[in-house]
Chains A and B, each alone.
Chain A
Amino acid sequence: MIKMRSELLLLLPLVAAFIGFPLLSVPVFFVRSTIIIIMWVILAESWNILGGYTGYVSFGHAAFFGLGAYFVAILLRDVGLSPFITAPIAGLFSSGVAFVFGYAVLRLKGNYFSIATLSLNYVLQLVISNIYWMTGGGNGLSLVTLPFDIKTSLSIFYWYFLAVALITIYVIYRINRSTFGWAMLAIRENEDAAKSLGIDVNVIKRRAYAISAFFTGLAGGAYAYFISYIDPPSAFAIAFNLNVVLMSIFGGLGTILGPLIGAISLTSVLLLVTYTFMSSLNLAIYGVILIIVVMFAPDGIVSILSRRKKV
């Protein structure tokens, strides 16, 4: 494990790079790709709050992403509220749903928890596509785009996503150093022992689930506006669930730097193979990379960095 402080030091150049990035006048394509990368950073970091710290591997976080996206899209269509304002409210909404779900599914352990979250994800997707009078069903929803030219609106999105990412990471950093953070780690290491030490494990787990869902829902809302079209299969994508898990494991579970590195590197690889091969073969290549990493760096990329540091 890298010490918190050195982890933050490693973070600084990254943040500087992301802040400096728009100053270089790069093609629109790269800005779009970088926004997507930042979004995955938010998603992987927020998944990691539950999955990495408490050890409850959720396969259903796309549910909160999709709920956030639909929340924002429906409010924009019916009330005309700007998604930039409604996205945090969408986060709160997702977080509330997670809190309620938590009463049920957090009683399950291991693979059973993963399966239960995956099926809730699927159920929500079906429900959203079935209540077509509200959600447009399988036709999806189109969102009104920003009234600026591509470059300006892209840079607005860029700063919005970057701000959310920084807030997410800051919140996780604060959690990390709090008793709440230690309680989560205690649950991951040994839930019964944590309970016997007087930690109210159910409250801690629900809180972690809700915080995790908040940022995922917020990102979902912002994403809906950014991409300007959503439909149930894309908003509740099962592939989404696997991606966040993979990014966190790829980088290193239960660290701040891990999901960040995982999200940046895996999204870049995925974007690269998608645009260079232009065929479904990119999926296969992604799979090969994934297996190689899990075989040779099972504790994530961060573990390699820290191993080198010790020597």
Chain B
Amino acid sequence: MLDLLLQAIINGVLIGGVYASLSIGLALVWGVMDIVNFAHAGFMILAAFLYYFMLQLFGVDPFLSLILIFPIFFLVGASVYKLLITRLRRPELMSLIVTFGVLVILEGSMSSLWGNEPKALATAYSVFSINVGGLVVRSSYLLGFLLSLVMMLMLNFLLKSTLIGKKIRATAQSREAAVIMGIDTATVTLITFSLGLATAAVAAVPIALSFAFYPGAYLYWTLMMFLIVALGGLGSVFGTFFGSLAIGLIQSISTVLLPVEWADVIAFTLLVVVLLIKPRGLFGKL
């Protein structure tokens, strides 16, 4: 039992790290701009497919493809923002609808191009696992966790120690005040949105390595991401990280203690309870 619990804790922390890489993009955009990008997980699935084809057709490792896909996703984010979001009159509500439209377009195109069969990224190292005193650490989980950790640290550095990061935080606190201080908030929000979307490309690496994906898989990840953001608060890197770890742990520990099919019931009921106690998330805003 203790072994099982320890194993569950290890898996929970590693998976939690993977969750963090997906949720941070949503949290950042939501926290800074008060905009919910519903298509975030859809773009993650798109990136997963791109890695899949890069690996199948050209034999390029997903960690290498990331260097190419990340800037492309940044540009895609910039165009979505410029073409759609900036033209909305009531962006808070309407961005939800428009990005849902983008999500539906993504799902429809992906499933008609590539079908609905679940796919998995099989690299040489994804089946490999490390055995430490009876406890198993899957290399795909570990690599995903490390990638996610590196990204979170880089984002934290960007937000805390660079000029653009300061501008982003100022805009998050009060857009009016930021404008008065001479900050070009239009550019700041453009960068934030594009950066947020590009992080979906990062998240796709660990998710594609550890989980099966198909065009409709965005649904589970969207719910998961909302759950984490609600728990971890908006736009806080550490809040998101600890929120993700908490969810990963709750999920994996409850699969040990309860039948598997009840684990998500616990997780999502917990979300509602947390929202009721702390209506703005456990860790507050940026």
B104 touches A286 (CB 8 A): yes
Decide: A294 near B101, CB < 8 A? Known: A122-B223, A122-B268, A280-B111: yes
A142 lies within 8 A of chain B by Cβ: no
Residue A31, interface by CB 8 Å? no
From known contacts A279-B112, A298-B89, infer whether A120 and B98 are also in contact, taking CB-CB under 8 Å.
no
Q: A245-B97, A287-B102, A291-B101 given as contacts; is B36 within 8 A of A111 (CB)? A: yes
B104 contacts A295, C-beta separation under 8 Å: no
A249 at the binding interface (Cβ < 8 Å): yes
Residues in A with CB closer than 8 Å to B103 are 287
Whether B261 pairs with A238 at a CB distance below 8 angstroms is no
Question: Is residue A183 within 8 Å, beta carbon to beta carbon, of the partner chain?
Answer: no
A279: chain B residues within 8 A (beta carbon)? 112
* Neighbour of A116 across the interface among B98, B109, B111, B272, CB < 8 A: B272
A126 and B261 contact, CB distance less than 8 A: yes
Q: Interface code B259-271, partner A: CB below 8 Å = 1, 0 otherwise?
A: 0011011001101
Contacts of B96 in A (CB 8 A): 111, 114
Q: Give the docked Cα–Cα distance between A280 and B90 (Å).
A: 31
User: What string of 1s and 0s marks CB contacts (under 8 Å) between B66-109 and chain A?
Assistant: 00000000000000000010011110111011101111110111
Complex interface: chain B residues within 8 A of A114 (CB): 96
Which residue in B93, B97, B109, B275 is a CB contact (below 8 Å) of A115? B275
A295 to B89, CA, bound (A): 9
A116–B229 Cα gap in the complex (Å)?
A: 12
B104 touching A298, Cβ below 8 Å: no
Q: Indicate whether A119 sits within 8 Å of B262 (C-beta atoms), given known contacts A107-B279, A112-B275, A279-B112.
A: no
- Of the candidates A112, A130, A285, which one forms a contact with B230 in the assembled complex, judged by CB atoms under 8 Å apart? A112
Instruction: Count how many pairs of residues, one from A and one from B, have CB atoms less than 8 Å apart in the complex.
Output: 121
Report Cα–Cα, A242/B96, bound state, in Å.
10
Judge whether B132 is part of the interface by a CB distance below 8 angstroms.
Answer: no
> A283-B111, A294-B97 in contact; A130/B265 too (CB < 8 A)?
yes
- Select which of B87, B261, B276 is within 8 A of A104 by beta carbon: B276
Contact yes or no, A115 B230, CB < 8 A: yes
Within 8 A of A (CB), among B269-286: 269, 271-272, 275-276, 279-280
Q: Which residues of A, 194-236, contact B by the 8 Å Cβ criterion? A: none
Q: Confirm or deny: B226 has a beta carbon within 8 angstroms of a beta carbon on chain A.
A: yes
If the complex has contacts A107-B279, A245-B97, are A284 and B109 also in contact, measured as CB distance less than 8 A? yes
- Give the interface residue-count category, chain B: 35 or more
The answer to whether the Cβ of B127 comes within 8 Å of any Cβ in the partner chain is no
Q: Given known contacts A108-B276, A249-B97, A291-B98, is B105 in contact with A116 (CB within 8 Å)?
A: no
Establish whether residues B226 and A115, one from each chain, have CB atoms under 8 Å apart when the complex forms. yes
> B276 touching A107 by the CB < 8 A rule?
yes
Structural contact, A298 and B265, CB atoms closer than 8 A: no
Which A residues, 238 to 261, have Cβ-Cβ distances below 8 Å to chain B?
Answer: 238, 242, 245-246, 249
- CB proximity of B263 to chain A, nearest CB, Å: 9
Q: Does B203 contact A (CB under 8 A)?
A: no
Asked if A294 and B98 sit within 8 Å, CB to CB, the answer is yes
A286 touches which one: B87, B97, B108 (CB < 8 A)? B108
Q: With the chains together, A120 CA to B265 CA distance in Å?
A: 9
* B226 and A118 contacting across the interface, CB-CB below 8 Å: yes
Question: A123 touching B97 by the CB < 8 A rule?
Answer: no
| A265 interfacial by beta-carbon distance below 8 Å | no
Interface string of B208-248 (1 = CB under 8 A from A): 00000001000100010011001000000000000000000
A71 to B92, CA, bound (A): 36
Of B87, B108, B275, which one neighbours A285 at CB under 8 angstroms?
A: B108
Q: Which 8 residue pairs of A and B lie closest in terms of their CB atoms, listed nearest first?
A: A283-B108, A284-B108, A287-B104, A287-B105, A280-B111, A291-B101, A290-B101, A119-B268
* 14 chain-A/chain-B pairs, Cβ below 8 angstroms: A109-B279, A111-B30, A111-B96, A112-B279, A115-B226, A119-B271, A120-B268, A249-B97, A280-B111, A281-B109, A283-B104, A284-B104, A287-B105, A294-B94
Which A positions have Cβ atoms within 8 angstroms of B? 57, 104-105, 107-112, 114-116, 118-120, 122-123, 126-127, 129-130, 238, 242, 245-246, 249, 279-288, 290-291, 294-295, 298
Binding site for A on B (CB under 8 A): 30, 36, 84, 87-90, 92-94, 96-98, 100-105, 107-109, 111-112, 116, 215, 219, 223, 226-227, 230, 261-262, 264-265, 268-269, 271-272, 275-276, 279-280
